[in-house]
Amino acid sequence: MKAIHGNSVRIHYKGTLTDGQEFDNSHNKGQTLDFTVGSKDLLKAFNSGIIGMTEGEIKSFTIKSADAYGEYNPEAMTIAPRAAFPEDFEIAIGMQVQGTNPMGQAFLAKITAFGDEEVTLDVNHPLAGEDLTFEVEMVEIQAAAAPTETAESESSNA
């Protein structure tokens, strides 16, 4: 069976950058990545790389930065008040921090500069501007559940 849109799959993977630096590895986490092919939780290009794989197959593919987390945007900087950090928090340039924007959404940022009153944060995704290479091992494929007769008749009434 080949992986197609809608299949549930279990994979092991290793992700590396162009220079060979590893940024993620399911083996190091001690568990497979389980997902439905076509899931919006994963990069569209990653899903595309999985389609057509068979159980036991090992495949490598590269996702260009534009199709991954986008190009690095030098203007994606924000200033936060130093008071937004706990008093005993030791700020360091290059440190990755997690914050919450005014709409309550969590985000990651890297500290690029700081002073007594303000902290400058780079809010680009940590992998922005990077081409990502994945080595994927297809561990298991489960066929998508066939639609039930009720679901088919309901969808035909729409």
CATH architecture of 77-122: Beta Barrel (2.40)
Confidence band of 146 (pLDDT split at 50, 70, 90): low
Whether residue 158 is predicted with pLDDT greater than 50 in this model: the reply is no
Furthest C-alpha separation in the chain: 65
Q: Would the pTM count as exceeding 0.75?
A: yes
User: DSSP of the chain, one letter per residue?
Assistant: -B--TT-EEEEEEEEE-TTS-EEEEHHHHTS-EEEETT-TTS-HHHHHHHTT-BTT-EEEEEE-GGGTT----TT-EEEEEGGGS-TT----TT-EEEEE-TTS-EEEEEEEEE-SSEEEEE-S-TTTT--EEEEEEEEEEEPPPPPPHHHHHHHHT-
Q: Which residue has the higher pLDDT, 121 or 154?
A: 121
Task: Identify the CATH number of the domain defined by range 8-69+128-145.
Answer: 3.10.50.40
Task: Report the share of the chain in percent with pLDDT over 90.
Answer: 82
**Is the fold of 8-69+128-145 the same as that of 77-122?**
no
For the chain, what are the domain ranges?
8-69+128-145, 77-122
Mean pLDDT of 68-86: 94
pLDDT the model gives residue 147? 59
Confidence band of 151 (pLDDT split at 50, 70, 90): very low
Mean pLDDT of 132-142: 98
Rounded to whole angstroms, the Cα distance separating 70 from 125 reads 8
Q: What is the pLDDT of residues 12-41, one digit of tens each?
A: 999 999 999 999 999 999 999 999 999 999
Whether residue 87 is predicted with pLDDT greater than 50 in this model: the reply is yes
Average pLDDT taken over every residue of the chain: 91
User: Out of 3-12, 13-22, 78-87, which region has the weakest mean confidence (pLDDT)?
Assistant: 78-87
